[in-house]
Amino acid sequence: RRNLHLLSHDQVELAKMLLNEGQGHLFEHWPEPGVDDDKKRSFFDQVGRLNSSYPGGLASYIQNAKKLLADSKAGQNPYDGFTPSVPSGEVLTFGDENFLSLEAAGVKEARNAAFVLVAGGLGERLGYKGIKVALPRETTTGKCFLQHYIESILALQEASCKLEGECHIKIPFAIMTSDDTNALTINLLESNSYFGMEASQVIILKQEKVACLADNDARLALDPNDKYKIQTKPHGHGDVHSLLYSSGLLEQWKSTGRKWVLFFQDTNGLLFNAIPSALGVSATKGYNVNSLAVPRKAKEAIGGITKLTHDDGRTMVINVEYNQLDPLLRATGHPDGDANCETGYSPYPGNINQLILELGPYIEELKKTHGAISEFVNPKYTDSTKTAFKSSTRLECMMQDYPKTLPPTAKVGFTVMDTWLAYAPVKNNPEDAAKVPKGNPFHSATSGEMAIYRANSLILRKAGAQISDPAITTFNGQEVEVWPRITWSPRWGLTFKDVTQKVHGNSSVSQRSVLVINGQNIVIDGLSLDGALIVNSVDEAEVKVTGRVENKGWTIRPVDHKDTSEKEETRIRGFKFEKVEQLEVNYTEPGKHCLSP
């Protein structure tokens, strides 16, 4: 009270609110006015930020925390009253007629899309020090995830606009960062000229952390190193909804004719193989919410898409997070819990957290909720009395919980695709990946890169080319399939139809080969490759690649993840290429060309 005169009117109101909410401990240690006055003011600056960045303000946060902590103490199950069952959704088969027509529909719709990447997480599980979007997606070209995402969005933009004749739509791309990732993300973009995207197309939204909770009464925790600061931790990817709403971005997108918002995560190098067809599903089915899914192995660290039916008749199709699926199943008459069925997979499709929301209904919903997402709390108690925490906790939220507040009339669906085509995240460090149960995916830098080559090889096979079988090799304790290292720029093979038009059946690539296709109008026709071939061309050139290319190629050298003489990004994948011999050709002039060695 003696310090009140140091504060602005708004700050005095915040102080009253904190006292009302039982937070007097935050300032009971404060000395007389005149001592640490600047620190006291900066304490309230922080309180102001915590208050304005949470839907409903800090008072709501504290009230929500009290309720969730009480539920947690009482052992209340968030799924009480709900019975899980296997939902039905769209199951796509890569390359069939339905897939091709959905891809075409998706490319058409892309001009009405906006993309949102959630990239505020540091990736503690991966143990990599930098931001994950700066990691190479594959090391044949070395292009990082962010570059690949941007080039894919630009390729969609170009293809979609071409269908319209002349069109100048720029697909917006929002990136959610956090204090942990913001500066590095901006630096990566700026130092690479936004990877070819116009700077004005990229919107950065930074999420704020939330206050930590010290006990079951939701008393906010002070930073152990600074008694004038509230300790904070990340609130989770669910923040993306309130940020999109409060920034006014959604209304702006609506006013410029956007219809779809596509959310995705930081390290899935296969994702854009699935975007055109999944967007096609949303458009043709009229889904308000469409989640992308893949077959899921039991216990895999991805959520399960589940139909939940409440005793009172309510139903919803929603992600049940991987740590909650097993207890929910056991509690509802499935003694084996999260187990594989006769197909070798869990019957619950795996959520890959790629969501496509229809913008109109999304805005209407957020007008009601302001983007607040159903939260949870996960305190680690000191003992079974559940009276004290081992360390402070906080509320968390997940972006895929958005449908939880929707009315039963909302059209919520999901689309299942093959894992090899659509999902290969980089999340686990080498030690943890090597411990993954046999048959379950590693989700490591090693498997993430190998999955790119596997997918590209399988796509070319489906297009008719003869691609040799993979070798089986172990890197960083993980046994992986090593397919020919085939990569292409997104503008070359945006859809399967594009690939089929550019690859003819009489071509072959051996297992030890490397093939980099970098240019839009390159046709592979009658190529027999056994070695390394890199083809670069400008748009105006039309290049036919044919004949036998044979050289020593690139060898793969294993790297021990503990070998500190190697770069961290190399160590986490456990191998590197040695470029012994290659043929690299550059077509810089317009006109027809033929590579026929």
Q: Using CB under 6 A as the criterion, which residues of the chain lie in contact with ligand UGB when the complex forms?
A: 118-121, 176, 178, 234-237, 265-266, 302-303, 319, 321, 351-353, 398, 400, 425, 427
CA angle in degrees (0–180, nearest 5) for 287-288-293 = 65
Q: How far is the CB of 65 from ligand UGB (least distance, A)?
A: 17
Contact 357, 260 (CB under 8 A): yes
Nearest-CA neighbor of 318 among 283, 351, 282, 284?
351
Contact 403, 412 (CB under 8 A): yes
Alpha carbon of residue 567 to chain centroid: 24
Amino acid at 55: P
Q: Among residues 172 and 493, whose Cβ is nearest to ligand UGB?
A: 172
Q: Among residues 232 and 521, whose Cβ is nearest to ligand UGB?
A: 232
Q: Among residues 14 and 118, whose Cβ is nearest to ligand UGB?
A: 118
Cα radius of gyration rounded to whole Å, the chain: 26
What ranges make up the beta strands (E) of 359-436? 375-377, 395-397, 412-416
Q: How far is the CB of 374 from ligand UGB (least distance, A)?
A: 13
Q: Among residues 293 and 535, whose Cβ is nearest to ligand UGB?
A: 293
- The residues, ordered by sequence, that sit 6+ positions from 286 with a Cβ below 8 Å of its Cβ are 358, 411
Q: Among residues 304 and 553, whose Cβ is nearest to ligand UGB?
A: 304
Q: How many CA atoms lie within 13 A of 587 on its CB side?
A: 24
Q: Among residues 6 and 86, whose Cβ is nearest to ligand UGB?
A: 86
Q: How far is the CB of 33 from ligand UGB (least distance, A)?
A: 38
Q: Among residues 95 and 238, whose Cβ is nearest to ligand UGB?
A: 238
Contact 532, 582 (CB under 8 A): yes
Q: Among residues 105 and 293, whose Cβ is nearest to ligand UGB?
A: 293
Write the CA distances from 466 to 270, 461, 505, 527, integer angstroms: 22, 6, 7, 10
Tell me the two tokens of residue 338: 């999260």
Q: Are strands 346-358 and 289-296 parallel, antiparallel or unpaired?
A: antiparallel
- Dihedral sign, Cα of residue 166, residue 168, residue 169, residue 175: positive
- DSSP symbol at 24: G
User: Residue 180 burial by CB count (10 A; 0-12/13-18/19+): exposed, middle or buried?
Assistant: middle
Cα(527)–Cα(545) distance, rounded to whole angstroms?
Answer: 6
Q: Among residues 18 and 118, whose Cβ is nearest to ligand UGB?
A: 118
Q: How far is the CB of 576 from ligand UGB (least distance, A)?
A: 25
